[in-house]
């Protein structure tokens, strides 16, 4: 299990938080997602077959690209 935190500046309301959490939890291997409306950070616990690339691609595909 790996944990990564992504900086996602496009988060601006609870709707964004829910959208991000649902999209990332739909990736096989993602076990926990927490998107924070204040820090604009998204923390993800994941294991194979999920990886950093699939998480970043999913964030980008729903309009919330990670800058870090």
Q: Which residues bind Cu ion (CB under 5 A)?
A: 12-13, 15-16
d(Cα 48, Cα 65) in Å, to the nearest integer? 21
Comparison of 1 and 13: residue with beta carbon closer to Cu ion: 13
Residue tagged 């204040």 (tokens) = 38
Comparison of 3 and 18: residue with beta carbon closer to Cu ion: 18
Closest separation in Å from C-beta 16 to Cu ion:
3
Element (H, E) at 12: none
Closest separation in Å from C-beta 40 to Cu ion:
11
Tokens, residue 14: 């609870």
Comparison of 13 and 68: residue with beta carbon closer to Cu ion: 13
Nearest in space to 2 (alpha carbons), one of 31, 24, 26, 22: 31
Closest separation in Å from C-beta 15 to Cu ion:
4
């Amino acid at each position: 299990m790996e944990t990564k935190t992504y900086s996602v500046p496009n988060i601006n309301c609870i709707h964004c938080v829910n959208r991000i959490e649902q999209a990332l939890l739909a990736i096989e291997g993602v076990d926990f997602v927490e998107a924070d409306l204040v820090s604009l950070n998204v923390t993800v616990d994941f294991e194979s077959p999920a990886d950093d690339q699939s998480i970043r691609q999913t964030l980008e595909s729903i309009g919330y690209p990670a800058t870090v």
